Structure 1
């Protein structure tokens, strides 16, 4: 949103009234919050979790790994088969860390969701998926989410479902995303 002279003056009056009523402090422009880097651009904001992604890679011992071209093989689905892994706690910790990374990395959502389906009993193929996701993150750590203003206020929604798609339980997966103009404002994926 671009502030015009009159809207800028209105904003300043609101800030002045708030200062008179409450003890507030101007913390200046937002740059970093809860592991998310915020950069103001001419058209909006760019949100990135590069520092957080690199911290997760470092914790996993994969800072120098070879990047993967995609986070998951879209055709294959993981089953509950395979040998149990040695350290399920580490698997759960890394999978949870990757879940937080999906705040700004929507391209990871499906792959991370697939890894998280098996947090209760992770197996060797699930750990291989987790490592592949981390390899993809290694090559794309600077990617993020661009939020931009738009005068277009039309609402557009998309949804999809994979009915009985889980090879073990035959459970379904569904998801949706909602746009206000060109901006993604809501999304979800559920099993």
Structure 2
């Protein structure tokens, strides 16, 4: 702190409590990061303060396409809520996939897409106390998990990659994103997902090195596709 103060004009504001919509609660085992107040603002903006909560954020039925149903009469309202939900995923990895699917149709939202967005808000209504716990951990290794569907988008047949990265016992990075290229097999889609999370893990390695907290072990990456595992272990295919 003294070194930083010698280089930059700084003021100590005390322990972090609230910053950019994120509330920080400290306890004896670590800290809890929550966006409850911000989530309540989204619910109020949507006019759903008295809505009935749902237990899941996404419907298990087949995904709707960009041409399903009638166009939504207020696309600006849809885009505003979808953008707000994107910021909420900073502390809510449980809604990352559902929000990503809604954001695919921000350019031309339809009634069914707004229904999907409202389902996310109904889920948030029942899970306002959810957030991210960070604990001191004796383990300082990086551990990554990745998965991908194959041709899941009904319009483009592109796949969606999802991953999460743990530093010890703490979740520090996660993502759900549509892959840029169309692949002809599930192994290709899964291999691309592995490549994405490995890239993210390398970036975290370098960041921790700059913070003088180097990781001395290789990152373990878990994938549930046998073909991808064999492909990753064969340098001839790289």
Fold similarity call, TM over 0.5: yes
Q: Are the structure 2 counterparts of residues 87 and 185 from structure 1 closer, same or farther at C-alpha, using a change threshold of 3 Å?
A: same
Pairing partner for 1:166 from 120, 139, 153: 153
**Cα displacement (A) at 1:151:** 1.2
Query: Aligned residue for 1:128?
Result: 115
Residue 82 of structure 2 corresponds to residue 95 of structure 1:
yes
Query: Aligned residue for 2:50?
Result: 64
- Say which SS state the counterpart of residue 121 (structure 2) adopts: helix
Q: CA RMSD in A?
A: 1.5
Partners of 2:136 and 2:176 lie apart in 1 by: 25
Partners of 2:154 and 2:64 lie apart in 1 by: 8
**Cα displacement (A) at 1:94:** 0.3
Query: Aligned residue for 1:157?
Result: 144
Query: Aligned residue for 1:11?
Result: none
Q: Are the structure 2 counterparts of residues 89 and 148 from structure 1 closer, same or farther at C-alpha, using a change threshold of 3 Å?
A: same
Q: Are the structure 2 counterparts of residues 27 and 71 from structure 1 closer, same or farther at C-alpha, using a change threshold of 3 Å?
A: same
Residue 30 of structure 2 corresponds to residue 44 of structure 1:
yes
**Cα displacement (A) at 1:39:** 0.7
**Cα displacement (A) at 1:56:** 0.8
Partners of 2:7 and 2:94 lie apart in 1 by: 44
Q: Are the structure 2 counterparts of residues 62 and 156 from structure 1 closer, same or farther at C-alpha, using a change threshold of 3 Å?
A: same
- Say which SS state the counterpart of residue 142 (structure 1) adopts: coil
Partners of 2:100 and 2:4 lie apart in 1 by: 43
Residue 41 of structure 2 corresponds to residue 55 of structure 1:
yes
Partners of 1:19 and 1:186 lie apart in 2 by: 29
> Which sections of structure 1, spanning at least 5 residues, go unmatched?
1-14
- Say which SS state the counterpart of residue 113 (structure 1) adopts: helix
Question: What TM-score does the superposition give when structure 1 sets the normalisation length?
Answer: 0.87
**Cα displacement (A) at 1:20:** 5.9
Partners of 1:155 and 1:183 lie apart in 2 by: 10
Query: Aligned residue for 2:96?
Result: 109
**Cα displacement (A) at 1:76:** 2.8
Residue 112 of structure 2 corresponds to residue 137 of structure 1:
no
Q: Which runs of 4+ in 1 moved over 6 A?
A: none
> Which sections of structure 2, spanning at least 5 residues, go unmatched?
179-238
Q: Deviations over 1:72-103 (max 9, x none)?
A: 12343122211001000000000000111000
Residue 3 of structure 2 corresponds to residue 28 of structure 1:
no
